[in-house]
Amino acid sequence: MSRQTPGRSKGLNGWLLSTPALILLLLAASGPLLIVAVYSVLEKGDYSGVRWILSGEGWFRVLFEKDIFDHTISLADANLSIFWRSFKLSIATTVITFAFGLPTAWFIATRPAKSRAFWLFLITIPFWTNLLIRTFAIMEVIRNQGILNTFLMHFGLISEPIQILYTDTAVLMGMTYVYLPLMVLPLYAAIDRFDFRLIEAGYDLYASRWQVLRGVILPIIKPGIIAGCILVFIPSLGAYVTPRVLGGGKNMMIGNFIELQFGQGQNWPLGAALSTVLLLVVLVSLLVYTRASSRDNPNG
Partner 1 sequence: MQRGICILSTNIAVDARNVGKIYGNGAGAVTALGDVSIAIEKGEFFTLLGPSGCGKTTLLRCIAGFETPTTGTIHLSGRDITYDPPYQRPVNTVFQSYALFPHLSVAQNVGFGLKMQGTPASDVAKAVERVLALVKLEAFADRLPQQLSGGQQQRVALARALAPEPEVLLLDEPLSALDLKLRKEMQSELKRLQTETGITFIFVTHDQEEALTMSNRIGVMSAGALLQVGTPHDIYESPVNRFVADFIGETNFLEGEVEGGQVRIGTGDLLAVDLNGETGGVTLAIRPEQVSVKAADAQLSGKITEATYLGTDTHYTIGLGDGSHLVARVQSNSVAAFGVGDTVGIAIDAKAVQVLKS
Residue ranges that bind partner 1, judged by CB under 8 A: 195, 197-198, 200-208, 211, 215-216, 219-220, 222, 297, 299
Please say which residue, 121 or 206, places its beta carbon nearer to partner 1. Answer: 206
Least distance (Å) from partner 1 to the CB of residue 114?
Answer: 17
Please say which residue, 76 or 220, places its beta carbon nearer to partner 1. Answer: 220
Least distance (Å) from partner 1 to the CB of residue 109?
Answer: 17
Least distance (Å) from partner 1 to the CB of residue 216?
Answer: 6
Please say which residue, 130 or 299, places its beta carbon nearer to partner 1. Answer: 299
Least distance (Å) from partner 1 to the CB of residue 138?
Answer: 39
Residue 65 Cα to chain centre, angstroms:
28
Please say which residue, 223 or 265, places its beta carbon nearer to partner 1. Answer: 223
Please say which residue, 199 or 241, places its beta carbon nearer to partner 1. Answer: 199
Least distance (Å) from partner 1 to the CB of residue 113?
Answer: 18
